[in-house]
Amino acid sequence: MNHPETESTSILVVDDEASLRNTFRIFLQRAGYESVVAVGSFDDALTAASSRVFDLIITDIVLESYSGIDLLKEFRQRGIICPVVIITGYPHVDTASDAVRLGAFDYLPKPVEKDTLLKTARLAIHQYRLEQEKKKAEQAREQYRRFLETIFKSVSDSIISVDRKLNILKMNQAATRFLSGMQVDTHEGDNLDTVCNNEDLCQLTDKVTQVFKTGTEIIDHRVECHQHGPCKVLSICISPLDDGAGDPTGAVLVFRDMTQKLAQPVQGRTRFHKMIGASAVMQNIYLMIENIGKVDTSVLITGESGTGKELAVHALHRESLRRDKPLVMIDCTAIPENLLESELFGHRKGSFTGADENRGGRILQADSGTLFLDEIGNISMTVQLRLLRFLQEKTFYPVGSDNAIQVDVRVIAATNIDLKEKVKSGDFREDLYFRLRIIDIHLPPLKEREGDVVLLTDHFLHHFAGEIGKSFTGISEQALSLLCQYDWPGNVRELEHVIERACVLCQGNTISTENLPEEIVTDPHQIHTQSPTPPAGQKIEETDRRTSRNTLSEQDQQTSENIIKALRKAGGNKAKAARILKIDRSTLYRKMRELHIDIDIFDF
């Protein structure tokens, strides 16, 4: 039985004596090397080596008017780097020296015995494979290093890495800008003490030393910085750099400005392929997809339902070198568990009941392209094992077949559940989890995408207006305000459905609050800060005025008093109070939330 390594090996034999080259070819083929090409001249050897890739070349030293040394020299000039074994009937020190200098693997004198030939071929091919694997690993490591460097530079948080002596190893651009703004003159190679010259950051060295001693990271250490401008609140995370033996070799410090900032004008892209959003978190996702798309590796996309994971997959595929190849998508929850294995890997006729014909699976359909596995967290342990082997080996066996199929497929998976928890509970393989999540992208919920509700609303409004044949001039300010305040538990998908419903129900040309669902108008997801209940016998107006003087502006105090008077006059009925104030009911709700007016504390 042939070994897979010998079956996949190609060897070129060059000798102008037909009997010798045929003898070598027979020896090699009987040893399991099925792909052996034998040629008899210098020119034929160059033609063969230029038309395909060989793992080993065996050539005689004498080739009519040329020599094996000439052939070896020509191979190296053409960039052919596989091992070359030279056979000679007249060993000579000079020719041996030339062969070694040009990189020949070995130099065998005639007559060449079968065992010697096979042993030399085996060693040459094994060494060549090891060198190729090492080169691929180094290329992959360098590619991954450049990828991490790109992310390191693009992250908006400030990142500083230090060694055990607190010498700064690396700083990203955000850290340089941050320290410059703090008027701290620190560069790579300096000691962390230079950062701690700032009195607000003086405790950093103690915190890093603590991490070195305990080996435990410090998460979200909040520090106030009062120097050089308005007070800033920094969240600092310090994590140990582990050498694998449990002894930290250094630490990474991440600084994040937690200070509440005024809303800034929209900058950057508002659209990226099919994705829509201009918030800071979406800008980072766009940049990450651009970088990851060009790196041909597995990606895990996480996020709540309705956040747009499928759109992120389309964007990744369009940014990759496989953009012109198929994108095959499969929803792992939409296919019964007993059929998912066949759907992915295909099956052979008769392999199970109902398998009436051969069928190629989704993996085969995605060959040279991208395979998207949605809701990956719900697949069975059997499919998990088969999928892990496919990711490791890039080969698979259809159900009912003993013949392996090799494909070139990039795998992207997505889930809305916490795979870490499933790994802990034993419901998901840890090795598959790490294999899928070589790179992960987390899509934030809509409530964390500041300003994107307005953009998405406008997009869906125009989309559904065209679909149902209506013409809309826009959406009222009150309705848009409610949409922006809503918590959106169903994320972008829920917003899409809400706008579709509003477009269908709207009788005019402007979407109003009357076209929105009741849950958005009343907004049960909002958390309201209640005013304290006044002591018995104390008037609500007095408590409200006292609190307002401390926390509200003069204009807000007047607005609060007007609302309280209207509510008392209406007996607590907010609809009547809105009519008394001559404002929309949604505006009244919003103002009551902003001014912390709680109707439950009124005594009507």
Domain harbouring 24, CATH code: 3.40.50.2300
Which pLDDT score, from 0 to 100, does residue 550 have?
45
SS3 call for 296: coil
**Is the domain of 595 the same as that of 469?**
no
Work out the burial of residue 221: count CB atoms within 10 Å of its CB; fewer than 13 is exposed, 13-18 middle, 19 or more buried.
middle
Proportion of the chain above pLDDT 70, given as a percent? 83
**Last residue of a domain, which of 469, 491, 522?**
522
Q: Is residue 323 a part of any domain in this protein? A: yes
CA distance 446 to 425: 29
Across 321-335, 451-465, 512-526, 558-572, least confident range: 512-526
Tell whether 456 and 502 lie within a shared domain. Answer: yes
Of the three residues 224, 257, 290, the one that is the final residue of a domain is 257
Note the pLDDT of residue 535.
35
Domain count of the fold of the chain: 5
Does position 3 have pLDDT exceeding 70, yes or no?
no
- For residue 238, the tally of other CB atoms under 10 A from its CB is 21
Q: What is the pLDDT of residues 395-405, one digit of tens each?
A: 888 887 788 88
The answer as to whether 567 is a domain residue is yes
Distance CA 67, CA 72 (A): 9
Structure token pair of residue 431:
């090795």
Query: Which pLDDT does position 294 carry in this prediction?
Result: 84
Would 235 be classed as within a structural domain? yes
Look at residue 338 in the predicted model and tell me its pLDDT.
74
Q: Is 317 found in the same domain as 435?
A: yes
The radius of gyration of the chain from alpha carbons, rounded to an integer in Å, stands at 35
Whole-angstrom distance, CA of residue 71 vs CA of residue 84: 10
Q: Are 505 and 596 within one domain?
A: no
Please report whether residue 265 resides in a domain. no
Q: Is there a single domain that holds both residue 233 and residue 281?
A: no
Which of 3-17, 238-252, 478-492, 582-596 shows the lowest mean pLDDT across its residues? 582-596
Domain-terminating residue out of 235, 257, 279: 257
CA dist 81 → 55, 61, 74, 430 (Å): 9, 19, 11, 39
Rounded to an integer, the average pLDDT of 530-545 is 36
Residue 264 lies in a domain: no
With contact defined as beta carbons under 8 Å apart, do 572 and 604 qualify?
yes
329-359 pLDDT tens trace: 998 888 887 788 888 888 777 666 666 777 7
- Which of 553, 503, 531, 511 lies closest to 602 in space, CA to CA? 531
- 317 and 348 share a domain? yes
Same structural domain for residues 452 and 440? no
Beta pairing class for 275-276 and 271-272: antiparallel
With respect to residue 564, please indicate whether it lies within any of the assigned structural domains: yes
Residues 300 and 210 in one domain: no
CA distances from 447 to 338, 487, 565 (A): 38, 6, 33
Amino acid (1-letter code) at residue 542: E
Asked whether the predicted pLDDT for residue 79 surpasses 90, the reply is no
Of residues 558 and 72, the one with the higher pLDDT is 72
- We report the CATH number of the domain holding residue 482 as 1.10.8.60
Classify residue 201: in a domain, yes or no. yes
Q: Please name every residue paired with 413 in a beta bridge, in sequence order, or none if there are none.
A: 300, 373
**Residue 94: pLDDT over 80:** no
Give the CATH number for residue 250.
Answer: 3.30.450.20
Residues 481 and 377 in one domain: no
Are 435 and 303 in a shared domain?
yes
Task: Give pLDDT, residue 226.
Answer: 63
pLDDT band at 266 (very low <50, low <70, confident <90, very high): very low
Structural domain of residue 198, as residue ranges?
155-257
pLDDT greater than 60 at residue 475: yes
Domain assignment present for residue 179? The answer is yes
Domain identity same for 499 and 571: no
CATH number at residue 397: 3.40.50.300
Identify whether residues 313 and 440 lie together within a single domain. yes
